[in-house]
Chains A and B, each alone.
Chain A
Amino acid sequence: MRRRHTCDIVVVGAGPAGLSAAQAAAEKGLDVVVVDANSRPGGQYYMQPLAAGSAFARSTQVMRGKTEVRNATAAGVTMLLATEVWGAFPGFVFHAQDPDGAVCIESKAVIVATGAHDRVQAFPGWTLPGVMTPGAGQRLAKTSGVPPGRRTVLAGSGPFLLPVAGTVLKAGGTLVEVVEARSSLLPTLPLIAVHPDKWLETLRLVFPILAARTRLRFGEVVVAASGEERVREVELAPLDAGGQPDLARRRVVSDIDALLVGFGFQPQIELTAVLGCRHHFDEEAGGWCCTVMRDCGATDICGVFAAGEVCGVGGAVPAALSGRIAGLAAAGQILDEETALERRSLVRRLQRARRFAGGLNRRFMPPSGVAEILSDETIICRCEDVTAGEIRKEIAGGMDTIHGVKLWTRAGMGPCQARFCGWSLARLVAEETGKTMGEIGFSRPRIPLRPVPLNVVRDSIL
Chain B
Amino acid sequence: MSRTAEVIVVGAGIVGSAIGAELALLGHDVMIVEQGVPGAAVSGASLACIGSHMIDVEELPLLAWARDAWRTLDEEVGGFDYNPCGQLRFVLNKQDLAVARAWIEVERSAGLNVELLVPAQVREVEPSLTGPVLAASWSRDDAVVNPFLAVRALLDRARDCGARLETHCRVDSLIEREGKIAGVRCATTDMSAEHVVLAAGPWTARLAAGLGMNLPIRPRKAQCLATVRIPPSIRRVVGACESDGGVEAGYTQIQQTRNGQVLFNTVLADGLVDDGAQDRIPEVDAAFIRDSVGTLLFLFPDLRSVRLLRSWVRFEAVTPDNRFLIGPLGPEGLWVAAGDCGAGFTRAPAIARLIGQMLGDDRPAFDTTLYAPDRFSCESPTST
> Interface residues, chain A, CB within 8 Å of chain B?
87, 89, 93, 274, 276, 384, 398-401, 403-404, 407-408, 413-415, 417, 446-448, 451-455, 457-458, 461-462
Q: Determine whether the beta carbon of A451 is less than 8 Å from that of B309.
A: yes
CB distance from B295 to the nearest CB of A (A): 10
Q: Would B305 and A453 count as touching, CB distance under 8 A?
A: yes
Provide the bound-state CA to CA distance between A297 and B317, in Å: 40
Q: Is the CB of B297 within 8 A of A454?
A: yes
| Contact in complex: B311, A454 (CB < 8 Å) | no
Contact indicator A457/B308 (Cβ below 8 Å): yes
Q: Give 11 A-B pairs besides A384-B259, A403-B37 with Cβ atoms closer than 8 angstroms.
A: A399-B37, A446-B312, A447-B284, A448-B308, A448-B309, A451-B309, A454-B296, A454-B306, A454-B308, A455-B297, A461-B289
B310 at the interface (CB under 8 A from A): yes
What distance in Å separates the Cβ of A429 from its nearest Cβ neighbour in chain B?
A: 13
Q: Which B residues lie at the A interface, using CB under 8 A? A: 36-37, 39-40, 44, 148, 152, 165, 167-168, 227-229, 259, 282-287, 289-290, 293-294, 296-297, 303-312
State which of B44, B167, B305 has its C-beta within 8 Å of the C-beta of A455.
B305
A407 neighbours in B (Cβ, 8 Å): 37, 39-40, 44, 148
Nearest residue, chain A, Cβ from B149: A408
Specify which of B37, B44, B282 is in contact with A401 (CB 8 Å cutoff): B37
Name 21 interchain pairs, CB-CB below 8 A, sorted by A: A87-B289, A276-B282, A398-B167, A399-B37, A404-B40, A408-B37, A408-B148, A414-B228, A415-B228, A415-B307, A446-B283, A447-B284, A451-B228, A452-B307, A453-B307, A454-B227, A454-B305, A454-B308, A458-B293, A461-B289, A461-B293
Report the minimal beta-carbon distance from A173 to chain B, rounded to whole angstroms: 34
Contact residues in A for B312 (Cβ distance below 8 Å): 446
Q: In the complex, which residues of chain B have a beta carbon less than 8 angstroms from the beta carbon of A87?
A: 286, 289
A211–B312 Cα distance when bound, in Å, is 53
CA distance A439 to B58 in the complex (A): 48
Q: Which residues of A contact B293 (CB under 8 A)?
A: 454, 457-458, 461
Chain A residues whose CB sits within 8 angstroms of the CB of B286 once the complex forms: 87, 89, 93, 461
A407–B146 CA distance with the chains assembled, in angstroms: 12
Residues of chain A with a CB closer than 8 A to B282's CB: 276
List the 10 shortest-distance A-B pairs measured between CB atoms, nearest first. Answer: A451-B307, A404-B37, A455-B304, A461-B290, A89-B286, A457-B293, A447-B311, A458-B293, A453-B305, A451-B309
- For B227, list chain A residues within 8 Å (CB): 454
Q: Of residues B165, B167, B309, which shows the largest number of chain A Cβ atoms within 10 Å of its Cβ?
A: B309
Is B304 a contact partner of A453 (Cβ separation < 8 A)?
Answer: yes
A-B CB contacts (within 8 Å), total count: 89
Query: Considering only CB atoms, which chain A residue lies closest to B226 in the complex?
Result: A413
Contacts of B44 in A (CB 8 A): 407
Secondary structure class of chain B's binding surface, majority of residues: mixed
Which residues of B sit under 8 angstroms from A399, Cβ to Cβ? Answer: 37
Do B40 and A446 touch (CB < 8 A)?
no
Give the complex CA separation of A58 and B294 in angstroms. 48
Whole-angstrom distance from the CB of B222 to the nearest CB of chain A? 14
Q: How far is the CA of A414 from the CA of B307 in the complex (A)?
A: 12
Q: Are A400 and B168 in contact (CB under 8 A)?
A: yes
List B contacts of A89 (CB < 8 A): 283, 285-286
The chain B residue with its CB closest to the CB of A93 is: B286
CB of A140, distance to nearest CB on chain B (Å)? 24
Which residues in A have their C-beta under 8 angstroms from that of B40? Answer: 403-404, 407
> Which residue of chain A lies nearest to B294 when distances are taken between CB atoms in the complex?
A458
Residues of A within 8 A of B310 (CB): 413, 417, 446, 448
Shortest beta-carbon distance, A86 to chain B, in Å? Answer: 8
Contact of A448 among B167, B285, B311 (CB under 8 A): B311
Q: In the complex, what's the smallest C-beta–C-beta distance from B308 to chain A, in angstroms?
A: 5
B310 to chain A, nearest CB (A): 6
CA distance A451 to B228 in the complex (A): 8
B283 and A454 form a contact (CB under 8 A):
no
Q: How far is the CA of A87 from the CA of B310 in the complex (A)?
A: 11
Q: How far is the CB of B188 from chain A (nearest CB, A)?
A: 17
Residue of A nearest to B45 (CB): A407
Q: How far is the CA of A347 from the CA of B94 in the complex (A)?
A: 67
User: Nearest Cβ in chain B — how far from A278, in angstroms?
Assistant: 13
**Nearest CB of chain A from residue B292's CB, rounded to whole Å:** 9
Instruction: Give min CB distance, A459 to chain B, whole Å.
Output: 10
Contacts of A417 in B (CB 8 A): 309-310
A416–B230 Cα distance when bound, in Å, is 15
- What separation, in Å, do the CA atoms of A245 and B90 have in the docked complex? 60
Q: Is the CB of B228 within 8 A of A457?
A: no
Q: Which residues of B contact A455 (CB under 8 A)?
A: 297, 304-305
A28 to B297 CA separation, bound complex (whole angstroms)? 44
Q: Which residues of chain B come closer than 8 Å to A415, judged between CB atoms?
A: 228, 307, 309
Measured between beta carbons, the chain B residues less than 8 angstroms from A446 are 283-284, 310-312
Please, which residue of chain A has its CB at the minimum distance from the CB of B298? A458
Q: Give B305's nearest chain A residue, CB to CB.
A: A453
Bound CA–CA A415/B40 (angstroms) = 21
The minimal Cβ–Cβ distance linking A391 to chain B, given in whole angstroms, is 14
**Which of A384, A413, A447, A457 is the one whose CB lies under 8 Å from B283?**
A447
- Whether A274 pairs with B283 at a CB distance below 8 angstroms is yes
Once A446-B283, A447-B284, A462-B290 are accepted as A-B contacts, the answer to whether A452 and B37 lie under 8 Å apart by CB is: no
Q: Which of B39, B148, B307 contacts A454 (CB 8 A)?
A: B307
Which residues does chain A contribute within 8 Å of B296, judged by CB atoms?
454
Cα separation A241 to B311 with both chains bound (whole Å): 46
List B contacts of A413 (CB < 8 A).
310
Most buried by B among A398, A417, A457, A462: A457
